[in-house]
A and B are shown apart, each in its own frame.
Chain A
């Protein structure tokens, strides 16, 4: 190939280079999906209702810590029925995440850990079979029970694991999987 041929090739290459400059359209915004911004936990014992909420509107990507609120004290020696509601409030209207957890209840599990000083125990009361067509007998935890004894203070940590080992011995270490939620609440039993 002679010089002239080569130079013409180069010119073509140059044209190609300049034709590649992009347009000035703005890129499309991406809002993270499957984000859980809000957890509402309702503890009910007759007319006694205590709510625990954690709201993290900017998600794990954002700098702000979640806003954690506990509506009041728990009564001693009481059995509370617990229900968990999960929302994505970064979307309008807020998206209900419970349905997705229910559909994939076999891939999710809530764990309830009570720190030593709080005189209470908590455990799931539902199983995968509560969310048909699933039929498993492993606990899920969207519904649970919290039983208090003597007056004390301490914390309850609620952890949602995705794809844990099932069945497991109820500890996070044994369950493995990915953490979708890990939130602790300071509680008082009076």
Chain B
């Protein structure tokens, strides 16, 4: 009520004000309150004038008098709002509109950006960028963000790397639920359909404590499109066809909203690709068959609301046939030959080796808003992850059963309370309890890579932020996590001794199974994480952020329990029961100027990780099947130093360029040896032509240059039975640098009545370059994917 009184008074004030020295201008942006995405074509009306925001949501209003004005801010999908500003005192103002009216049926005006944290480095990509990646993986789209790269297994299994860190160090929040999908495996991609995301935010580091305390790498937040609280029925269908892989993706979404707050949303995706092709040959057995669907409904009012969400995801992924090798000699042979050992004709058939993963996610959420206090949210989520990996095994019969069959079930209950009624500060405190059960099915007739275990987690956090003044915000938070893991694990007796466990852990043995011991390791971890930082906004759209984050991560099951031959990788992976938590201290800064005409950001960081858990090739073990490289987990102290930078410049009305650069250097500071799998420096430059009058035509030409990684750990010597001598296994040597060109063009045309059709054409790797990528686990066996033509039709109705 107070707000409306104020508006009324201000309008009166404007009316009675007299013309004075009217040369003042005010500028800023209109931004979606929920996701921080700039709103284009928003209108700002005052007196009899109307200003429209540009594509980046910017506006400038000039020739204003030094009095208070009442501005009406509107956007097609939003409820209009009236904001009063005294122009004599304010020259810079960002307006926040509730774009997708959801739980907050109000407009908030604040000088601050709506982001996940106030002080950490972060970046959001919006719906129209995500749509371009409709047929790709989550990890591909995230590479649009400076400092994000990926660890690939072929072209379809894409694990995001944030500032040099991946796997369990990167949390993925899918629609408010922390994904529990066996992220411990290098060849396990996130089990999410990118088409469920309305926007994607990456927080680079552990500063977003509410999501978890162990995000040493960072947090990826996927949020769905919000449903407006009005009577509406909308939908979207994206059809993408690609020449390379000869595949199609169809993704469709339909949303029904009611003014009363009720909503219903359904979404589905179908993706089918055959073998993709490198410039010189078919990459045999690299097809993919992905199916996904989600359904949500609920009732969101301003004071309270609830919703139910369920999603299903299944993906059958072929793994390059040539990547199946027998032993170290085969690996050497493959590295030397430079050609995949298996090249067949193109097919859609997915044969062994392959992965077949299914993920069910269910969520119930309830929130209640307390007047003059804040908002309480409670959520229960259920996840069921089933992973099958099929290998090339000795007999036809064995090939039909998976050699890895893991079933991970997770129940999580979270509750948090945000005290946000005060203008100058807010506090968020919450708790989490989680139970997880991993079942490794013995019907695989292969020794379990990861044992059966029960895991119990509990967490407590409090975070707060304080607006010192209009320009400076400080934030801080602390979190405690408890993890307990209770496993039943078999060890080959000789391995138990070789690891030295017989000296320390014999009390864990609970049964003697002939050649193996059954053990019951039960470990507890207490982790503390904390963060503090500031945000300083000044001048013409300048922002300086600084953050320190302390994070501790308990070891994952692979780091503790891996033991034995990993058939799909033909390497022996050895975890260690002695592994303790790793502790990261990260300091990061970001200095930026956001402006469509001339903007830039420089974001340096330093991450010191004590007891960093690293998996490296260390040795070879001989067996009757030949020599196998041994990859061991060990702990050391590490240091990652890096910088992400970007720049955008509008040269002419329709022409602009975007530039970005990222560099990270990782080092083991105990041995002064470079860390393994650190992304090489890369530069991206794009030339963009945009003409709104021509059906919103956008054409962009992008050049992507990746340097060779010159810092890598030493290779290992292997005894080759064939050569009868020790030979160098160049398992760590990175391939050379490469340069790729991509072209993208799209335009929006009217399509039946009020509807719109966006037509997009993309050519990736235009010059059909042959190259290999250091961060692709299959770089030993085959080249990367060659040229690819994509045609994309997006219907909005």
Q: Which chain A residues have a beta carbon within 8 Å of chain B's beta carbons? A: 1, 3, 6-7, 9-10, 13-14, 16-17, 20-22, 26-34, 36-39, 54-66, 90, 100, 104, 113, 115, 154-155, 157, 159, 162-163, 172-173, 176, 178-184
**A182:B341 contact, CB within 8 angstroms:** no
When distances are taken between beta carbons in the complex, the residues of chain A under 8 Å from B88 are none
**What are 7 A-B contacts defined by CB distance under 8 Å?**
A30-B444, A34-B398, A39-B624, A61-B495, A61-B564, A179-B330, A180-B394
In chain B between 494 and 526, which residues have their CB closer than 8 angstroms to a CB of chain A?
494-495, 498, 510-511, 513-516, 518
* Chain B residue contacts of A179, Cβ below 8 A: 326-327, 329-330, 625-626
Contact status B626-A182, CB under 8 Å: yes
Q: How far is the CB of A154 from chain B (nearest CB, A)?
A: 8
Question: For the complex, is B435 an interface residue (Cβ under 8 Å from A)?
Answer: yes
Answer yes or no: B304 CB below 8 A from chain A CBs: yes
B492 within 8 A of A: yes
A27-B452, A183-B626 are known contacts; what are 14 more A-B pairs with Cβ within 8 Å? A10-B364, A21-B435, A22-B437, A31-B447, A31-B514, A32-B446, A36-B624, A59-B492, A60-B565, A61-B572, A63-B494, A179-B625, A182-B327, A182-B624
Q: Are B445 and A33 in contact (CB under 8 A)?
A: yes
Interchain CB contact under 8 A, A20 and B409: yes
Tell me the complex Cα distance, A61–B564, Å: 5
CA distance A39 to B721 in the complex (A): 16
**B78: shortest Cβ distance to chain A, in Å?**
27
Q: Which of B339-384 contact A (CB under 8 A)?
A: 341-342, 364, 366, 368, 378, 380, 382
Tell me, in angstroms, the Cα distance from A21 to B721 when the chains sit together.
49
Is B5 engaged at the interface, CB distance under 8 Å to the other chain? no
Residues of A within 8 A of B639 (CB): none
Task: Please give, as numbers and ranges, the residues of chain A lying within 8 Å of B515 by CB-CB distance.
Answer: 31, 57-58, 90
Nearest CB in chain B to that of A65: its residue: B622
3 tightest A-B CB contacts, nearest first: A179-B326, A182-B626, A63-B498
Q: Which residues of B contact A113 (CB under 8 A)?
A: 722
B488 contacts which of A27, A63, A64, A163 (Cβ < 8 Å)?
A: A27
Q: In the complex, are the beta carbons of A157 and B722 less than 8 A apart?
A: yes
Chain A residues positioned under 8 Å from B248 (CB to CB): none
| Cα of A28 to Cα of B572 in the assembled complex, Å | 22
- B residues near A (Cβ < 8 Å) are 299, 304, 306, 324, 326-327, 329-330, 333, 337, 341-342, 364, 366, 368, 378, 380, 382, 392-395, 398, 409, 411, 413, 435, 437, 439-440, 442, 444-448, 451-452, 454, 488, 490, 492-495, 498, 510-511, 513-516, 518, 563-565, 572, 621-626, 628, 721-722, 724
Cα–Cα, bound, A32→B342 (Å): 27
Contacts A1-B299, A29-B518; A182 near B326 (Cβ below 8 A): yes
Shortest A123–chain B CB gap in Å is 17
State the total of A-B contacts with C-beta under 8 angstroms.
172
Q: Is the CB of B445 within 8 A of A178?
A: no
- Give the residue name and chain of the B residue nearest to A1 (CB): B306
| Chain B residues near A20 (CB-CB < 8 A) | 409, 411, 435, 437
State the CA gap A6–B366 with chains docked (Å). Answer: 7
For residue A37, which residues in chain B have a CB less than 8 angstroms away from its CB? 624
Q: Is the CB of B447 within 8 A of A61?
A: yes
Looking across the interface, which residue of chain B has its beta carbon closest to that of A29?
B513
Q: Which residues of B contact A14 (CB under 8 A)?
A: 380, 413
Q: Which residues of A contact B448 (CB under 8 A)?
A: 27, 30
B324, A178: Cβ atoms closer than 8 Å: yes
Asked whether, in the complex, the Cβ of B624 is within 8 Å of the Cβ of A13, the reply is no
Known A-B contacts A27-B442, A29-B490; A60 and B625 likewise in contact (beta carbons under 8 Å) = yes
In the bound complex, do residue B326 and residue A178 qualify as a contact, i.e. CB atoms below 8 Å apart?
yes
| Chain A residues within 8 Å of B411, by CB | 13, 16-17, 20
Docked complex Cα distance between A169 and B490 (Å): 43
Are B392 and A163 within 8 A (Cβ)?
Answer: yes
- Kindly identify which residue among B304, B378, B495, B724 contacts A62, using a CB–CB cutoff of 8 Å: B495
Q: Determine whether the beta carbon of B494 is less than 8 Å from that of A64.
A: yes
Query: Could you tell me if A63 and B513 are in contact, using CB atoms closer than 8 angstroms?
Result: no
Given known pairs A1-B299, A26-B511, the reply for A13 and B364 (CB within 8 Å) is yes
From known contacts A63-B621, A173-B333, infer whether A9 and B364 are also in contact, taking CB-CB under 8 Å: yes
Docked CA distance A22–B80 (Å): 54
Report chain B residues within 8 Å CB of A36: 624-625
Interchain CB contact under 8 A, A181 and B625: yes
A residues near B622, Cβ cutoff 8 Å: 65-66
Look across to chain B and name the residue whose beta carbon is closest to the beta carbon of A154: B724
Q: How long is the Cα–Cα vector from A58 to B621 in the complex, in angstroms?
A: 12
Contacts of A17 in B (CB 8 A): 380, 411, 413, 435
Specify which of A17, A28, A61, A65 lies most central, judged by the most chain B CB atoms within 10 Å of its CB.
A61
A90 to B516 Cα, complex, angstroms: 11
* A52 and B647 alpha carbons, distance in the complex (Å): 68
Q: Is the CB of B624 within 8 A of A56?
A: yes
Shortest beta-carbon distance from B456 to chain A in Å: 10
Residues in A neighbouring B326, C-beta threshold 8 A: 178-180, 182
CA distance A155 to B444 in the complex (A): 38
Question: Closest Cβ of chain B: how far from A24's Cβ, in Å?
Answer: 9
Q: Report the bound CA distance from A113 to B721 in whole Å.
A: 10
- Residues of the A chain whose Cβ atoms lie less than 8 Å from the Cβ of B437: 20-22
Question: B394 contacts A162, CB within 8 Å?
Answer: yes
A62 touching B518 in the complex, CB below 8 Å, given contacts A34-B398, A155-B724: no
CA distance A1 to B305 in the complex (A): 9
A28 touches B442 (CB 8 A): yes
> What residues of A have a CB within 8 angstroms of the CB of B366 in the complex?
3, 6-7, 10
What separation, in Å, do the CA atoms of A57 and B515 have in the docked complex? 9
Name the distance in Å between A48's Cβ and chain B's nearest Cβ.
Answer: 25
Chain B residues with Cβ under 8 A from A183's Cβ?
624, 626, 721
Residues of A within 8 A of B495 (CB): 58, 61-63
Say yes or no: B392 contacts A65, CB within 8 Å.
no
Q: Is the CB of B380 within 8 A of A13?
A: yes
Decide if A33 touches B398 in the complex (CB within 8 Å): yes
| CA distance in complex: A36, B440 (Å) | 24
A13: B residues at CB distance < 8 A: 364, 380, 382, 411
**A30 to B623, Cβ gap below 8 A?**
no
For the complex, give the distance between the alpha carbons of A59 and B563 in Å.
13
Q: Which listed residue, B368, B626, B724, touches A115 by the CB 8 Å rule?
A: B724
| Chain B residues whose CB sits within 8 angstroms of the CB of A104 once the complex forms | 395
Task: Verify A27–B621 contact, CB threshold 8 A.
Answer: no
CB distance from A175 to the nearest CB of B (A): 10
Q: Which residue of B lies closest to A157 (CB)?
A: B721
A26 to B511, CA, bound (A): 9
A38→B380 CA distance, assembly (Å): 54
Known: A10-B378, A21-B454, A182-B326. Contact between A60 and B721, CB under 8 A? no
Bound-complex Cα distance A38 to B492 (A): 18
Which residues does chain A contribute within 8 Å of B442, judged by CB atoms?
27-30
A65/B327 in contact, CB under 8 A: no
* Bound CA span A154–B454, Å: 54
Closest chain-B Cβ to A170's Cβ sits at a distance in Å of 14
A10, A57, A63: the one contacting B380 at CB < 8 Å is A10
- How far is A90 from B413 in the complex, measured between Cα atoms in Å? 46
Chain A min CB distance to B784 (Å)? 23
Q: Which residues of B contact A154 (CB under 8 A)?
A: 724
A155 to B720 CA separation, bound complex (whole angstroms): 12
Q: A62 to B654: give the CA distance in the assembly, Å.
A: 65
Nearest residue (CB) in A for B327 is: A179
Closest to B722 in A: A157
Q: Which residue of A lies closest to B574 (CB)?
A: A63
Q: Is the CB of A60 within 8 A of B514?
A: no
In chain B, what residue has the closest Cβ to A28? B442
- Min Cβ gap B499→A in Å is 8
Give the complex CA separation of A7 and B365 in angstroms: 10
Alpha-carbon gap, A113 to B626, bound state (A) = 14
Assembled-state Cα–Cα distance A179/B444 (Å): 21
Neighbour of A182 across the interface among B447, B621, B721, CB < 8 A? B721
* B721 with A3: CB separation less than 8 A: no
Q: Give the Cβ gap from A30 to chain B, nearest Cβ, in Å.
A: 5
Kindly provide the distance from the CB of B170 to the nearest chain A CB, expressed in whole angstroms: 26
Contact B623 A184 (CB under 8 A): no
Q: Are A34 and B516 in contact (CB under 8 A)?
A: no
